[in-house]
Amino acid sequence: MRRFRESYLFLTFLAVTVGFVSGVGAIFFRWLINTFMRVFYGILPRALGFMGRSYYLIAPALGGAVIGPIIYKAASETRGHGVPEIMEAVWTRGGRIRPRVALIKPLVSAICIGSGGSAGREGPIAQIGASFGSTIGQLLRISPEKLRVLVACGAGAGIAATFNAPIAGIFFAMEVILAEFRTRSFIPAVVATVTATSISRKFLGDYPALGPLSYSLKCYCELPFYVGLGVLAGLVGILEIDSLYKFEDFFEELKLPTYVVPAIGGLAMGALGLGLPHVLGVGYGENLIPPLTNSLLSVINQEMEFKLMLVLVFAKILATSITLGSGGSGGVFAPSLFVGGMLGGAYGYLVNLLFPNLTAGYGAYALVGMAAMFAGVSRATLTSIIILFEMTRDYEIILPLLISCVMSDMIVVFSGRNIYIQKLLRRGIKAKPERPPDALDLTLIRDVMRKGSELVVIRKGIRVKEAYELMEKTGYHGFPVVDGRGRLVGLVTHNEINDAMTSGLWDMKIERIAIRDPLTLYPDETLREALLRIGIKRKRGSHFPVVDRKDRKKLVGFVAMTDIISAYVKKTKEIEWFPA
């Protein structure tokens, strides 16, 4: 039985279950968003009719006030856009995600989006599917490498069901979550996404999310204009990434309780929405804040003014940065498509104005801009190309789509940014998506060091004999030496203590034999960075005090070389990927 449980045939059977739950989850999540929209923009406005239009100022703040305590108390990993949390689980925790995420994420995201927060559906749906895949895999105790595949299946199935795009869901699982293309992970991903899409189509219908549409190149001499669109999308993509994380830093620096900040962000979002209601909520599809129309379709159908398109590019970036930076919950996929559509529409309007006989209408550029923008911010170029093709079912636009997405990706590559990876880097996870993660990059000194009750120090002034007795009692071979205020004075190891004892210096004070200027490490360093510094310094020894980066006398922990080696071996086993 155990042998069958570890087989890929069993994994494929599990992928069917994960795909089914992801498909049902996508349907339920859409219903949940619409339910909260009716609450925030139907029931409450009638109950608070005396507020008039000013109600729209407080609606997102009310949503933020509700979700803040839920996220704070129940599951902090449900804040933000969700996909980096899936990637972190796959890369660093063997695919383990807490089961409660599957319950909390749809609730807080639906409230956030339903109250007017600028975020997308895809991140929550992906996290719901991934959480269920992780939960079922943990219950059945499958191996970590198969658990990772199951998590990716759930994420891909969620994307497939949300956008009615099964092929894009497969590529999302492979390109973004697993960062690999192998048959043994491809087959379960196909099974999961096909199952999820079948469920979604059964209840929601088989309609392209933005179509069907029909745009084509007017002539091949138009391709250079699409190259320009790709470059522009890459530059605006960099702006979108930087804006999101600068607002995240801004809200963190407010030094307010975590559960309060989403309401403050919601208030700022409401103020923006009063002037430009187009930026509220998802911005397209059936989940629209009443009485808004589908802004993306308006651009694609060439029914929007140039000035408004241009303003909405930056307004949507600002709105999404406020919503997610303040701790709101939702995805970045849909906002990126919205920004790209507006950018492409505005760019295409100008190009068509200058070269009317050579170029198609600006609706075609809006379509391509959508995919080019997401290709840039996420570096998921294949997924971006395929998802737009499936959302429009328009093959004629494939050449402009390919060149614009690749150019956008190239621009962002040079900046070293990625909207998903950036969040992991900010947490100290320095693995790159192009290769399997390295334990040296995924483990921080703070995860290895002795701290709290495990941290044993020697006070300045005690005798060598007492230090020897402490060494014998604890089994430790190195100790930081501190003064009366707990400030670091030096380091003493078994070498210094044993030498002093052999020389008969039993009563000598410990600071006389301590190493006065030991090599110190920092808690936010990765193992790789620490080992490189140890090698560069070329100092003897295998014990290192860990100090605050801003105050090198403030002791926060202690680590031995054996601790680093043990942590490396343990983490390497946890993140072991499929054999080649």
236: closest CA among 176, 318, 171? 318
Mean pLDDT of 566-570: 83
Q: Does domain 220-434 have CATH number 1.10.3080.10?
A: yes
Pull the structure tokens for residue 150.
Answer: 């199951």
Asked if pLDDT for residue 532 goes beyond 80, the answer is yes
394/490 Cα distance (integer angstroms): 69
Q: CATH 3.10.580.10: which residues of the chain?
A: 440-574
What long-range pairs does 245-249 form, CB within 8 A, spacing at least 24?
245/325, 245/422, 245/423, 245/426, 246/321, 246/325, 247/321, 247/322, 247/324, 247/325, 247/326, 248/324, 248/325
- Confidence (pLDDT) at 20: 93
Q: Is the dihedral of CA 110, 112, 113, 118 positive or negative?
A: negative
- Confidence (pLDDT) at 255: 81
Q: CATH 1.10.3080.10: which residues of the chain?
A: 2-204, 220-434
CB atoms within 10 A of CB 475: 6
- Confidence (pLDDT) at 539: 56
31: closest CA among 194, 193, 203, 253? 203
Q: Residue 121 gets which letter from DSSP?
A: S
Asked if pLDDT for residue 549 goes beyond 70, the answer is yes
558: closest CA among 575, 544, 568? 544
382/175 Cα distance (integer angstroms): 8
Q: Do residues 555 and 457 make contact, with C-beta atoms less than 8 angstroms apart?
A: yes
3 state SS for 228-287? HHHHHHHHHHHHHHHHHHHHHHHHHCCCCCCCCHHHHHHHHHHHHHHHCHHHCCCCCCCC
Pull the structure tokens for residue 156.
Answer: 């891909």
Between 418 and 576, the more confident residue is 418
- Confidence (pLDDT) at 184: 76
**DSSP codes, 2-58:** HHHHTSHHHHHHHHHHHHHHHHHHHHHHHHHHHHHHHIIIIIHHHHTGGGGGGHHHH
Mean pLDDT of 1-5: 52
Task: Give residue 62's identity as a one-letter amino acid code.
Answer: L
Pull the structure tokens for residue 484.
Answer: 């009366």
302/297 Cα distance (integer angstroms): 8
> What 3-state class would DSSP assign to 529?
helix
443: closest CA among 77, 90, 92, 88? 92
Sheet holding 458-459, edge to edge: 458-459, 478-482, 488-493
Mean pLDDT of 89-112: 83
- Confidence (pLDDT) at 93: 77
Mean pLDDT of 3-14: 70
Q: What is the pLDDT of residues 134-187, one digit of tens each?
A: 888 888 888 787 888 899 999 999 888 888 888 888 988 888 888 777 777 888
For the chain, the straight-line distance linking the first and the last C-alpha, in angstroms and rounded, comes to 26
Specify the residue for token string 């294949």.
382
> What 3-state class would DSSP assign to 306?
helix
Q: Could you tell me which residues are beta bridge partners of residue 557?
A: 546
Between 106 and 317, the more confident residue is 317
238/244 Cα distance (integer angstroms): 10
| pLDDT band (50, 70, 90) for residue 407 | very high
Asked if pLDDT for residue 316 goes beyond 90, the answer is yes
The predicted model scores a pTM of 0.75
- Confidence (pLDDT) at 313: 93
Between 286 and 343, the more confident residue is 343
- Confidence (pLDDT) at 247: 92
Q: What is the average pLDDT score of the chain?
A: 83
Asked if pLDDT for residue 383 goes beyond 90, the answer is no
DSSP H or E segment with residue 558: strand 551-560
Asked if pLDDT for residue 474 goes beyond 90, the answer is no
Q: Domain 2-204 in CATH: superfamily?
A: Clc chloride channel (1.10.3080.10)
120/107 Cα distance (integer angstroms): 14
Give the CATH number of domain 440-574; options: 3.10.310.10, 3.10.580.10, 3.30.365.10, 3.40.50.2300. Answer: 3.10.580.10
- Confidence (pLDDT) at 579: 38
29/107 Cα distance (integer angstroms): 8
- Confidence (pLDDT) at 438: 67
- Confidence (pLDDT) at 572: 74
> What 3-state class would DSSP assign to 339?
helix
- Confidence (pLDDT) at 81: 72
Mean pLDDT of 509-536: 86
Strands 478-482 and 458-459, bridge-based pairing = parallel
Percent of the chain with pLDDT over 90: 18
Asked if pLDDT for residue 580 goes beyond 60, the answer is no
Asked if pLDDT for residue 191 goes beyond 60, the answer is yes
Task: Give residue 419's identity as a one-letter amino acid code.
Answer: I
477/468 Cα distance (integer angstroms): 10
Q: Is the dihedral of CA 484, 486, 492, 498 positive or negative?
A: positive
- Confidence (pLDDT) at 196: 92
* Angle made by CA atoms 267, 312, 268, in degrees to the nearest 5: 10
105: closest CA among 20, 26, 167? 26
217: closest CA among 339, 358, 83, 349? 358
